[in-house]
Structure 1
Amino acid sequence: MITGGTGAAGATGAVSIKEVAARAGVSPGTVSNVLNRPHKVAEGTRARVEQVIRELGFVRHGSASTLRAGHSRTVGLSVIDIGNPFFTDVAAGVEDYASEVGYAVILGNSAGDRVKEERNLRVFAEQRVRGLLITPFDDDPRRLAVLRDRGIGVVLVDHPALRPDQCAVAVNDITGGRLAVSHLLEGGATGVAYVTGPLSIRQCLERRIGAEQALAEAGLDPETRLRVMEMPAMHARAGQWAAELLLPDGLPDAIFCANDLLALGVLRGLLHAGVRVPGDVALIGYDDIDFAAASTVSLSSIRQPTYKLGRIATELLLDECDNPESHAHQQIMFQPELVVRESTRR
């Protein structure tokens, strides 16, 4: 029996699921569905049961249900930089869908550290999460295979699948890099600096590949027309540092940054040095976070459907967990979108 804390009907003991069912005029199985599979219950019935749950103060015994099922009603979310608003928006999509179907989300931030990511994965397994959503630190599939062997579903977020029998939701970063640099070239640039985080990060590398493709398509040699500045991190401080490094050697016509945080840091460094954006140099970022439109000079960027990434990835994960026999693995690749603002309008 699932039991919970005391309430209006349980002043002398825990409220039972049968008491909730009797008060709501439904079966215990319907109450269980409201708690565990709310999307399977008619809206009116679900609202009535939820009202009774509130009135009686019913709280299910999570540890007991976890022991019976072998897993909890939680999903793990592992990201590489929770300080980046991109991942905040992804997490919002994950949490919204998970909440709608009766799940909670446990967040793990690897901070771009493989050891920390592995430690977080162990914690997820110990907590018996139903499944895992992860933007992995690298392309090594072995860590995730261990979780799958334990019956924990895994879906990759913002990363292509590592194997055919795996779901993944990603954005085409090569296309995104090509869009960004093609836009800069159309604005008259003949040389571009690419300010990026570590190229060991797949997204950074693929955005560079796209930039090189755009230059080649325009008849320009990527070897001489693309200056790559690989920074140790992808935050605004690193972007400002990159601007300071660029200034002594002479600025290129345009700068493409691998994310908006870097671009905002570059923008700050350039403006502080008296460089006009876009008058002296055009600047474009990537991700189209909220701060991009609100910066001193509004920032052109490559938009990704961040919220949708998180929501759809969670739908795929829970379908795989709840319907293993009928589930069809999907590898969904979204296309990015160019957003033009003041920083590239000459």
Structure 2
Amino acid sequence: MRVTINDVARRAGVSVRTVSRVLNNHPNVNRFTRERVLQAIKELNFVPNALARGLATQESRTIGVIIPDVANPYFAEVLRGIEDVASQANYHIFLCNTDEDPEREQHSIRLLRQRQVDGLILVSPRLSNQTAARIFRDDQRVVVVNRSWTHLGITSIVTNNREQGLQAADFLAASKPTCLAYLSGPVTSESNELRWLGFSERAAELKLEVMRITPSLHRIPTIKRGHEAMDELLASAALPVGVFCFNDLMAIGALDSIANHGLRVPEDVSIVGVDGIEMAGRVHPSLTTFVIPKIQVGNTAMQCLLDMFQEDSQPEEVVIPAVAVQRSSTGKASEFVSSHQRETSIRR
């Protein structure tokens, strides 16, 4: 006969609720009671039923995570960071992929709520601020990555996107281009728009013409998209040109397009990407990029969510800076960190 939680409670001389608290590492159980329950579990060889435990404690021990592109190495590493911390805290991940589609995001949020997840982490959501305000009006257990939603009462994990755009323009201007260009990611991406803002501002200060190649709505920023965008740019831009790409995948696709046109990097086209995926250092020529500490981003997002479970906390914005790594695609292999990037900062 299968041993149940009721058997454990009888053996230990405690309530079923107390056994559930011990199983979930609840702090409000004294040491002697906890030891008695654990001894009963050992004697009876009891294996907890996760569903039953969740019903008893009103917890599912699951976290919903929503990402826009499961194939992108950036998101894979952020997810790894989330899962590492979740696993240590005895939580499981329920993952939804949206393919950059805000409608699918809303569907995923509804699905995860129906599954009664204990909290949500949204990575690079494409929802509008107005939609997010409506959906999360009464939901306190939400963390967002790559959007600043503190004004909506949501803890936000972001990077220094505008500064990346400023620095990218400086890197590219050093090669004396006739103009600069930005191969844009999704216009629904806050990171994308902030990078473009910094890039275009610095281009204006440098008195350089700047172009923007923008995808159709909900296009995923992949290697293929980068190749297509560079083809489009080379059909109209005068050389030499300095190109800033929304992410490393697009930059790698752009390098392929440049090679197909028989052009040289960085002599004819210099390129900068963002994310710091492993492939960026292995392509030829190697790619100048802004390395975002992706696992740290995931760790931080999950830890912020766990902190919410323990106490009432105020929403905060955690800024995790990227590190600029200059390689062959801009003509010089060196590494440096800007003075504004030396420490992770928290603004409350």
Q: Tell me the TM-score normalized by structure 2.
A: 0.81
SS at match of 1:13: coil
**1:322 CA displacement:** 2.6
Cα 1:39/1:259, change in 2 over 3 Å: farther
1:231-250 counterparts in 2 under 5 A?
Answer: 231-232=215-216, 233=219, 234-249=221-236, 250=238
Instruction: Please name the residue that 1:328 is paired with.
Output: 314
The 1-side partners of 2:89 and 2:323 are apart by 31
**1:278 CA displacement:** 1.5
Number of residue pairs aligned between Structure 1 and Structure 2: 320
Instruction: Please name the residue that 1:5 is paired with.
Output: none
Letter of the structure 1 residue corresponding to residue 243 of structure 2: I
Instruction: Please name the residue that 2:199 is paired with.
Output: 211
The 2-side partners of 1:38 and 1:192 are apart by 57
The 1-side partners of 2:26 and 2:77 are apart by 24
**1:106 CA displacement:** 0.8
Q: Give the counterpart of 1:338 among 302, 318, 324.
A: 324
**1:63 CA displacement:** 2.1
Letter of the structure 2 residue corresponding to residue 229 of structure 1: I
C-alpha contact (below 8 Å) 1:257/1:286 kept by paired residues:
yes
Give deviations 1:269-295, integer Å, cap 9, x for gaps. 111222111122111111111110111
Instruction: Please name the residue that 1:290 is paired with.
Output: 278
Q: Give the counterpart of 1:229 among 191, 213, 218.
A: 213
Instruction: Please name the residue that 2:337 is paired with.
Output: none
1:124-273 counterparts in 2 under 5 A?
Answer: 124-134=112-122, 135-143=124-132, 145-147=134-136, 149=138, 153-163=141-151, 165-218=153-206, 220-221=207-208, 225-232=209-216, 233=219, 234-249=221-236, 250-273=238-261
SS at match of 1:198: coil
**1:310 CA displacement:** 1.2
Cα 1:133/1:272, change in 2 over 3 Å: same
Cα 1:301/1:31, change in 2 over 3 Å: farther
Letter of the structure 1 residue corresponding to residue 223 of structure 2: A
Instruction: Please name the residue that 1:105 is paired with.
Output: 93
**1:56 CA displacement:** 7.7
Letter of the structure 2 residue corresponding to residue 266 of structure 1: A
Letter of the structure 2 residue corresponding to residue 317 of structure 1: L
Alignment gaps of 5+ in structure 1: 1-11
Letter of the structure 2 residue corresponding to residue 13 of structure 1: R
**1:126 CA displacement:** 0.6
The 1-side partners of 2:276 and 2:41 are apart by 42
**1:208 CA displacement:** 0.7
Q: Percent identity?
A: 30
Cα 1:80/1:144, change in 2 over 3 Å: farther
Give the superposed CA RMSD.
3.2
The 1-side partners of 2:41 and 2:166 are apart by 54
Give deviations 1:60-119, integer Å, cap 9, x for gaps. 222222223333111111112222211111111110001111101111112111111111
SS at match of 1:159: coil
C-alpha contact (below 8 Å) 2:140/2:154 kept by paired residues:
no
The 1-side partners of 2:92 and 2:184 are apart by 34
Q: Give the counterpart of 2:2 among 13, 29, 42.
A: 13
The 1-side partners of 2:83 and 2:299 are apart by 8
Q: Tell me the TM-score normalized by structure 1.
A: 0.81
